[in-house]
Amino acid sequence: MADRYRYDPKEIEPRWQRVWADERTWEVSNEPDGREKAYVLVMLPYPSGEPHIGHLKVYSVGDAVAHFRRRQGFRVLNPMGYDAFGLPAENHAISTGQHPRQSTDEAIAAFRQQFHEWGMSIDWSRELATHDPSYYRWTQWIFLQLFEHGLAYRKEAAVKWCPNDQTVLANEQVIDGRCERCGHEVEVRQLEQWFFRITDYADRLLDDLDTIEWPEHVKTMQRNWIGRSEGAEVVFRCEELDIDYPVFTTRPDTLFGATFFVMAPEHPDVFRLVAGTEYEQAAHEYVNHALNESNEERGAADKEKTGVFLGRYVVNPVNGERLPMYVADYVLMEYGTGAIMAVPAHDERDHEFAKRFGLPIREVVAGGEDVQAQAYTGEGPLVNSHPDFDGLPNREALQRIVEWLDREGKGHASVNYRLRDWLLSRQRYWGCPIPIIHCERCGIVPVPEEDLPVVLPDIADYAPKGRSPLAAAEDWVNVTCPSCGGPARRETDTMDTFVDSSWYFLRYTDAHNDEAAWDPAVVDRWMPVDQYIGGVEHAILHLMYARFFTKALADLGHLNIQEPFARLFTQGMITRSGAKMSKSRGNVISPQSYVERYGADTARCYILFIGPPDQDADWSDTGVEGVHRFLGRLWRMSAEVADTTGDEPVPEELSADDLELLRKAHWAIEKVTNDMAGRFAFNTAIAAIMELTNTVSKQREEGDPSTGALRFALATAASLLFPFAPHVATDAYERLTGRRVWEEPWPTADHRYLERETYELVCQVNGKVRDRVQAATGASREELEALCLSASRVRAHVDGKDVVKVVVVPERLVNVVVR
RNA sequence: GCGGCUGUGGUGGAAUUGGUAGACACGCAGGCUUCAGGUGCCUGUGGGCUUUACGCUCGUGGAGGUUCGAGUCCUCUCAGCCGCACCA
């Protein structure tokens, strides 16, 4: 056959990409035009090297949603930007001497070009990069807003320090005691750092999860991370030293079962308690040992309990008992008050410790088997406690005991969170400068708003030295105090890159605003993001921080929403031979190699066809070829039909072959629409278009359909395919109809073609399919029953037996129950 | 340990509320086209059994249960993945 009908993505794709770029097809105005808005957002990429296969997947999903919504009549915002600050670019600079800005800008150029080559329908007029002063000027402005309202503060704290990257880390960036970035073991250091007061928002971050449509597992991860525990704070008094020690407990009902008291090794009072006593040396040795132990060693769950007696006692406020005090590393300074009451009968850790140190174990909640042998953590009535509470179910006793503590001034109901404040300062170069000036006289002084941005200066040496490399930029560091005019120094720490990405979705709405971070009226028109799409790896960090920023900015009057992302979709990973792609495994596949070989349409379509997009999927080279063949078949048939037939309409009088084509076409419209609207079932949507294409192919070979019906079926296939493979779909559609498919409304199924006069009635005997017969749509139950019973293969299984029951499901099946 | 997810042919997966298990695709086998390879197209393809009938039977990790009917619901259990984890 002539070359004319060879599917050539290398010709088709650039041709349409040029049209979209020249006509700025995907740009959208901020001015309302009567259409409802839809903000479709894919998490912005971190530009490093070239896009990988995960980028192809996530942007293919986002683009399909954007196209679908546009053609459904929505005004769609689908922007793109780059999360451009961060350690990889800086580490690259340290090893090569190349300025991080240069390597970052090169990566951005590569990303931008590939997104174009993939045919993504992005509104490029709103493109942003977080390392651009016109962007981070407003990151600094937000920092100052939070600072001025007490939500950003500086304090000395025991922080996680990565000795390799020479920087502090957020709690969230420490995985199993190791640096998330480089994997090096993390140390604890006492340093003065900047924090955001995210803990103030713990309850709202928790409660508002109920208001958003997110995958349950992501919500669960956030709930666990916030880690809200309800209980009571109870005060234990050390009478010898006249000090009160409050503890947090979720089980105040077990207060009468407390038999000892434990402090964390980091607790500031440990040394004071033992000072000058015979226990001093042992306590010091123990604490030093515990603090030198790595987090990993200390955190091992199966590790034996250790600790030492401090020679002191505290008084249990509920019964006046004197409890011996210990220091033990199973108590954590960073949770609760750094000290606990120990109830070995009803807490496994305390039980283990008590066994090891021969401490008494007193049952106060009945229901366990033998608390001497094993802690009982279940429910039950109180025993061995106090006549006022004994016999009460422990839940009820808990309430009553807390009320009693409150009346006596010995405690009160309390809530504790696992969530810590967000440590945002980094002693690194390639980040957004913190707009603060330290003045000897005035202390911490914010940079005046009109002086923003504080531009990141160029420096010669990026290597980390335990303080920010920026400190070396003397000209930049030394300034006059904006408050008193005296000598002062700039803050040299930079911000965690998660600060940059915690508000970028707001900037897209008003990306060129030089007067403000955004115009509140414009932001109102677009926010919240209707569909956010990205990887689960951001389930905690980015998604929690962005929610916190949104709430804080709303409280400060800059936003009118409480949640930034109304719906969230998290896509699964693409694996290769069942394993995560990595350079060390050597199983990395480059999306570009497939785009060059098969075209972007094939690569995009395959990645959506491979399986449900929220699940992990294994890349298969032969699978790609299957999709390529399908696209080629659809294009070739469209081109041939367009060239060899006239512009005939679908005829009034339909032949049986025409009817089959129209039915399949309308069935596919219905199927694809439902698969895209209700869930992101792109794989079954594409399968439906394949079925339609196969039907067309079969009709052309074997049937005698009218050219009108043929054109309609093919144009429908192209139209439905457009969100997944925009170039080939556009080209095929234009050949068939002379029109541009993206300007066409999304097709709607004509239900007349979906309803049939007859259908295949499944005939079962005892739940087993025995026959299938044609039944008239709308036939009565009696008719269906008779039809089934008269079927020959049904009779073979029914004759000679008693019919016990007949179940009729109209439009589906009849089940005859025999004995 | 706690929480979440997944388990279906040789492979990826389909089956939206309990109602024909295996759509669609890959792979494989056979055929057509071709000097040949490739491309393209057609046919077949869960296992077993036999009387080869489009017939029976088994079959959705395993074992029970509910139901006329279970991949789908319930109970128990196994395997794998992810998150959190000495959080009081």
* Predicted confidence (pLDDT) per residue in A114-139, tens digit: 999 999 999 999 999 999 999 999 99
Residue A728: burial class (beta carbons within 10 Å; 0-12, 13-18, 19+): buried
Estimate the crossing angle of helix A541-555 against helix A216-226, to 10 degrees: 70
Rounded-to-integer distance, Cα A253 and Cα A716, Å: 68
Å: A179 CA to B9 C1': 44
Q: What is the pLDDT of residue A2?
A: 47
Mean predicted confidence (pLDDT) in A184-208: 88
Tens-place pLDDT, residues A728-774: 999 999 999 999 999 999 999 998 888 878 888 888 888 888 888 88
Q: How much is the mean pLDDT over chain A?
A: 91
pTM: 0.91
- Count of Cβ atoms closer than 10 Å to residue A706 Cβ: 19
Give the nucleotide with minimal C1' distance to the Cα of A796: B55
Confidence band of A3 (pLDDT split at 50, 70, 90) = low
Cα distances (Å, whole numbers) of residue A305 to A88, A280, A299:
40, 20, 11
Å: A686 CA to B46 C1': 25
**Weakest-pLDDT range from A18-27, A357-366, A536-545:** A536-545
In this structure, what token pair is assigned to residue A314?
């505290």
Q: Residue A500 pLDDT > 70, yes or no?
A: yes
Residue A617: burial class (beta carbons within 10 Å; 0-12, 13-18, 19+): buried
Cis peptide before A453 (omega within 30 of 0): yes
Q: What is the pLDDT of residue A785?
A: 86
Tens-place pLDDT, residues A253-306: 999 999 999 999 989 999 999 999 999 999 999 998 887 776 656 666 567 889
Contact, A713 vs A706, CB < 8 A? no
Mean predicted confidence (pLDDT) in A538-559: 94
Tens-place pLDDT, residues A459-485: 888 877 777 888 889 999 999 999 999
Nearest residue to B13 (CA, C1')? A611
Mean predicted confidence (pLDDT) in A488-499: 94
DSSP state of A433: B
Tens-place pLDDT, residues A341-387: 999 999 989 999 999 999 999 999 998 888 898 888 888 899 999 99
- DSSP H helices, A199-344, are 202-207, 216-226, 270-274, 280-292, 295-299
Helices (H) and strands (E) in chain A, counts: 26, 32
Å: A798 CA to B23 C1': 32
Mean predicted confidence (pLDDT) in A438-447: 95
Q: What is the pLDDT of residue A778?
A: 81
Å: A768 CA to B59 C1': 14
Q: In this structure, what are the phi and psi dihedrals at residue A817, rounded to the nearest 5 degrees?
A: -100, 120
Structure-model confidence comparison of residues A427 and A77, the more confident one: A77
Q: Residue A579 pLDDT > 80, yes or no?
A: no
Give Cβ neighbours of residue A69 (< 8 Å, ≥ 6 apart).
Answer: A38, A40, A76
Confidence band of A1 (pLDDT split at 50, 70, 90) = very low
- Angle made by CA atoms A221, A225, A228, in degrees to the nearest 5: 115
Å: A417 CA to B78 C1': 36
Which residues on adjacent β-strands are paired with residue A446? A436
Å: A770 CA to B47 C1': 20
Tens-place pLDDT, residues A297-336: 666 656 788 999 999 999 999 999 999 999 999 998 888 9
Tens-place pLDDT, residues A407-439: 999 999 999 999 989 989 988 899 999 999 999
Å: A612 CA to B77 C1': 28
Structure-model confidence comparison of residues A461 and A525, the more confident one: A525
Give the nucleotide with minimal C1' distance to the Cα of A249: B88
Nearest residue to B25 (CA, C1')? A626
Contact, A437 vs A488, CB < 8 A? yes
Q: What percent of chain A has pLDDT over 70?
A: 97
In this structure, what token pair is assigned to residue A68?
């679908």
Å: A578 CA to B4 C1': 21
Rounded-to-integer distance, Cα A8 and Cα A3, Å: 10
Contact, A556 vs A143, CB < 8 A? no
Query: For the CA atoms of chain A, what is the radius of gyration?
Result: 34
Rounded-to-integer distance, Cα A612 and Cα A99, Å: 41
Q: What is the pLDDT of residue A328?
A: 94
Which bases of chain B come closer than 7 Å to a protein CB? 3-6, 11-16, 19-21, 23-27, 39-42, 55-57, 68-70, 82-88
Q: What is the pLDDT of residue A262?
A: 96
Å: A773 CA to B57 C1': 23
Please report the sign of the dihedral spanned by the C-alpha atoms of residue A341, residue A347, residue A353, residue A359.
positive
Tens-place pLDDT, residues A505-521: 999 999 999 999 999 99
Contact, A340 vs A316, CB < 8 A? no
Please report the sign of the dihedral spanned by the C-alpha atoms of residue A739, residue A741, residue A747, residue A750.
positive
- Count of Cβ atoms closer than 10 Å to residue A652 Cβ: 6
Nearest residue to B81 (CA, C1')? A616
Q: What is the pLDDT of residue A302?
A: 61
Q: What is the pLDDT of residue A573?
A: 85
Nearest residue to B33 (CA, C1')? A1
Contact, A244 vs A332, CB < 8 A? no
Please report the sign of the dihedral spanned by the C-alpha atoms of residue A173, residue A178, residue A179, residue A185.
positive
Place of tokens 């839809």: A38
